[in-house]
Amino acid sequence: MKRYTLSFIVLVIAIGIPFLLITPNERDAMSGNERVTRELLNDALRKAVQIATENYYKPIEDPNKMYRGAIKGALASLEDDYTYYILKREHQRAVENLYNAEFGGLGVQIYDDHRGFIKISKPIPNTPAALANLQAGDYITKVDGKRIHLSEKTGMTRASVIDLLRGETGTDVTITVQRKFLEPFDVTLTRAIVPIRSVKSTMLDGDIGYIQISGFIGNKEGTEEEFKNALTAHKAGGMKSLILDLRGNQGGLLNAAYHIADAFIDKGLIVSTKSETNRKFDEEYPATPNILCPLDIPLVVLVNEYSASASEIVAGAIKDTRRGILVGQKTYGKGVVQKRYELSDGSSMSLTISTYYTPNGTSINEVGITPQVSVAREEPDEIEHIMLRKLASTDSVENFVSKWIDDAHQKQGEMPKDFSLLERDLPKLQQTLKAEENITLSLRWLSPRAKQIFNLYVGIDQVVNLAHDQQLIEAIRIIEANEVEKYLNPTPDAAEPPSTTQANMPPEHETTTEE
């Protein structure tokens, strides 16, 4: 199959799918008893909505909400976690984030602080926000005069703030900004196209290229284009080996994942899909000979229990074809494919249409892929785990970091960027936590939490963490010791352990904060 003939599965729009109501063709296709039963059920649904609308003890502002609930229930009856109903607004957001990999907006990354106020983490380069000199740490207090505060009382959420900031390109929006040591001021920005990034990269010591893919997104541009650019830059920089990080990557577009895998594999099958009921979903995705990453470049792929779906397609293809080795933890095990169908009211439904198979013909659904080199994440002991949970229920770290940044900002006249200076003061935080919160925690676990908050508040986007990332450290060690080939061709007594089933659902993606 040639590349340009592949459809975009997982997010493919099909206009006007009939639902609940019976069409003439359906009447012809059903037997008499089936037709009577279906008509009775449709009539029962309409009657139930009517009775509720007329007799419910409180006014029903939107009776159509019950019909939407009926659609949710119909799909839920299939007992498939990946088949579900999507509201119109959520569908539009998915089209922007997943299929288009861009949206109309301002180009800021936002987060809500512990008090429910919205802050800017950092403006995205070459966007309206960056050109207007918005800064990390700025508060957005109003949007077009509407006060911004997240709480149950206001009913405002981060998603609703995103809706206010995003919009049609070329339209204006006025935001009120509160910056440290300044009076609030208004900035009027014209919305523009803002790309959504899914790839980060850097060159590690020893000419080891590192590319992290957080999701597989984009139609014509997106993950595939970003990946090509990163790989090209690494090759130009003298890359001798490559680490591809798919940890936490919960999937995306099958087509994008296919192209990434095809960049490494020059022959054979990359993935195939099969349906038990509809042959049109039986597809084969062969490798093409024009690879982007030379075969003599040792490849290590990092995976964990949250690597799912499309990322497992890439990992499975690389492992089965022996193009590289997998390091980390066994993947989640989502071996089914969904297609997104748009319904007549602008909402949509995600429907599981097929099972996919790795090049060896293996279905990894509910099983996952076991890496050649198993490396568990470092975990706190039982007591420190309890202390971390207790810490998460307080604002102590956030308050300490925020005050430290404010003080440093005032002294230096600019936003601080060196975490090591703050790290020197963490023993003070330790003492405060012990005295005021009865929390005793080592710097081993306190420091990474403080650094995460520091980076977020000052707008630092850290690509790798070589201090505490044991899986990445092991990947580097394997490359430096020239052991990739050893794991590709293990001796009989070094066979990998058998697979075991993983039943937990992966966590949902965080709401995108690029506006």
The two beta strands, 172-178 and 139-143, are antiparallel
* Local mean pLDDT, 10-residue blocks, the chain (515 residues): 41 31 46 75 94 95 94 97 94 91 93 87 91 92 96 92 94 94 94 95 98 92 95 98 97 96 97 96 96 97 97 98 98 96 94 97 96 92 93 90 89 90 96 95 94 89 90 98 93 50 33 42
Q: What is the DSSP string of 460-508?
A: ------TTT-HHHHHHHHHHHTT-HHHHHS--GGGPPPPP----SPPPP
User: Among residues 119, 122, 319, 334, which one is catalytic?
Assistant: 334
CB-CB neighbours of 410 under 10 Å: 10
**pTM here?**
0.85
DSSP state of 30: S
Nearest to 122 by CA among 130, 112, 113, 114: 130
pLDDT in tens, 167-218: 999 999 999 999 977 899 999 999 999 999 999 999 999 999 999 999 999 9
Q: What is the pLDDT of residue 414?
A: 85
| Residue given tokens 């014209």 in the structure block | 190
- Contact between 478 and 487 (Cβ < 8 Å): yes
Domain 199-337+354-374 matching CATH 3.90.226.10: the answer reads: yes
Question: In the annotation, is 309 catalytic?
Answer: yes
Q: What is the pLDDT of residue 272?
A: 97
Q: Which two tokens stand for residue 384?
A: 């420190």
Please give the backbone phi and psi of residue 318, each rounded to the nearest 5 degrees, phi first: -70, -40
Q: Is 248 exposed, middle or buried (0-12, 13-18, 19+ CB in 10 A)?
A: buried
Q: What is the pLDDT of residue 17?
A: 30
Task: Quote the CA–CA distance of 351 and 349 in Å, as a whole number.
Answer: 6
The two beta strands, 108-112 and 102-105, are unpaired
User: Among residues 320, 354, 451, 469, which one is catalytic?
Assistant: 320
- Contact between 310 and 302 (Cβ < 8 Å): no
Q: Is 178 exposed, middle or buried (0-12, 13-18, 19+ CB in 10 A)?
A: middle
Question: In the annotation, is 274 catalytic?
Answer: no
The two beta strands, 199-204 and 208-213, are antiparallel
User: Among residues 198, 309, 347, 348, which one is catalytic?
Assistant: 309
Ranges of each domain in the chain: 102-195, 199-337+354-374, 382-458
Nearest to 213 by CA among 203, 199, 224, 227: 199
Q: Which amino acid is at 86?
A: I
What CATH number does domain 102-195 carry, 1.20.1630.10, 3.40.50.300, 2.30.42.10, 3.90.79.10?
2.30.42.10
Sign of CA dihedral 116, 122, 128, 130: positive
Question: In the annotation, is 334 catalytic?
Answer: yes
CB-CB neighbours of 50 under 10 Å: 12
Tell me if 102-195 shares its fold with 199-337+354-374.
no
